[in-house]
Amino acid sequence: MSIFGSMKTAVSGMNAQANRLSTVADNIANVNTTGYKAVSTSFSSLVLPSSGGNYNSGGVQTSVRQAVSDQGDISYTTSTTDLAISGDGFFIVQGPDGTPVLTRAGDFQKDDEGNLVNAAGFQLMGYSYDSGAPAVVVNGFDGLVPVNVNQEGLTAIASTSGVFKGNLDSNAKVAPVAPATAPSANLATTTTDTKKFSMVAYDRLGNKVMYDFYFTKTAVVTPPPAPPGVASTWEVSIYRNADAAVGGTTSFPYTTAGGDVGLGSLTFDANGKMISSGAIPIVDPVTGLTINMDLSGFTQLGADFAGTGTPNGQAASPVKDVTIDGDGIVYAKYEDGSTKPLYRVPLANVASPDKLTLMSGNVYSANGQSGVTVTGFPQTNGLGTIKAGALEGSNVDLAGELTEMIESQRSYTANSKVFQTGSDIMDVLVNLKR
Tell me which amino acid residue 394 is.
S
| Structure confidence by residue, pLDDT tens digits, 330-348 | 998 888 777 889 999 999 9
Domain ranges of the chain: 3-67+395-432, 73-153+319-393, 155-316
Measured distance CA(188)–CA(196) in Å, rounded: 14
Predicted confidence (pLDDT) at residue 181 exceeds the cutoff of 90? no
Q: Which amino acid is at 363?
A: V
- pTM across the whole model: 0.68
Of the pLDDT bands very low, low, confident and very high (cuts 50, 70, 90), residue 179 is: low
Q: In the predicted model, what is the mean pLDDT of residues 213-240? A: 78
What is the arithmetic mean of pLDDT over 358-363?
94
Q: In the structure, what pLDDT confidence band is assigned to residue 1 with cuts at 50, 70 and 90?
A: low
User: Is the bond leading into 346 cis (omega within 30 degrees of zero)?
Assistant: no
- pLDDT at 180 (0 to 100): 64
Which residues, listed in sequence order, are joined to residue 279 by a DSSP beta bridge? 294
How are beta strands 314-324 and 347-349 bridged, if at all?
A: unpaired
What CA–CA distances, in Å, run from 93 to 31, 112, 192, 371? 22, 18, 61, 19
Contact (Cβ atoms closer than 8 angstroms) between residue 395 and residue 36: yes
- Listed range (177-191, 192-206, 367-381, 409-423) with the worst mean pLDDT: 177-191
Measured CA to CA, the distance from residue 237 to residue 196 in angstroms comes to 10
The answer to whether the Cα torsion of 241, 247, 250, 254 is positive or negative is negative
Does the pLDDT of residue 325 top 80, yes or no? yes
Three-state DSSP string of the chain:
CCHHHHHHHHHHHHHHHHHHHHHHHHHHHCCCCCCCCCEEEEEEEECCCCECCECCCCEEEEEEEECCCCCCCEEECCCCCEEEEECCCEEEEECCCCCEEEECCCECEECCCCEEECCCCCEEEEEECCCCCCCCCCCCCCCCEECECCCCCEEEECCCEEEEEEEEECCCCCCCCCCCCCHHHCCCCCCCCCEEEEEEEECCCCCEEEEEEEEEEEEECCCCCCCCCEEEEEEEEEEEHHHCCCCCCCCCCCCCCCCCCEEEEEEEECCCCECCCCEEEEECCCCCCEEEEEEEEEEEECCCCEEEEEECCEEEEEEEEEEECCCCEEEEEECCCCEEEEEECCEEECCCHHHCEEECCCEEECCCCCCCCEEECCCCCCCCEEEECEEECCCCCHHHHHHHHHHHHHHHHHHHHHHHHHHHHHHHHHHCCC
**pLDDT beyond 90 at 286:** yes
Q: Are 84 and 305 in contact (CB under 8 A)?
A: no
| 3-state secondary structure labels for all residues of 376-405 | ECCCCCCCCEEEECEEECCCCCHHHHHHHH
- Residue 332's Cβ-side half-sphere holds a number of Cα atoms within 13 Å equal to 22
Structure-model confidence comparison of residues 55 and 108, the more confident one:
108
Q: How far is CA 134 from CA 162, 172, 291, 319, 344, in A?
A: 20, 44, 23, 22, 7
Question: 155-316 has which CATH code?
Answer: 2.60.98.20
Q: Is the pLDDT of residue 61 over 80?
A: yes
Torsions phi, psi for 385 (to 5 deg): -110, 140
pLDDT digits (tens, 9 = 90+) for 136-162: 998 889 999 999 988 766 778 899 999
Q: Which amino acid is at 426?
A: M
Percentage of the residues of the chain whose pLDDT score is greater than 70: 94
- Over 90: is that where the pLDDT of 430 sits? no
d(CA 66, CA 60): 20
pLDDT-derived band at 5 (thresholds 50, 70, 90) equals confident
The torsion of the CA quartet 323, 206, 242, 337, rounded to 10 degrees, works out to 20
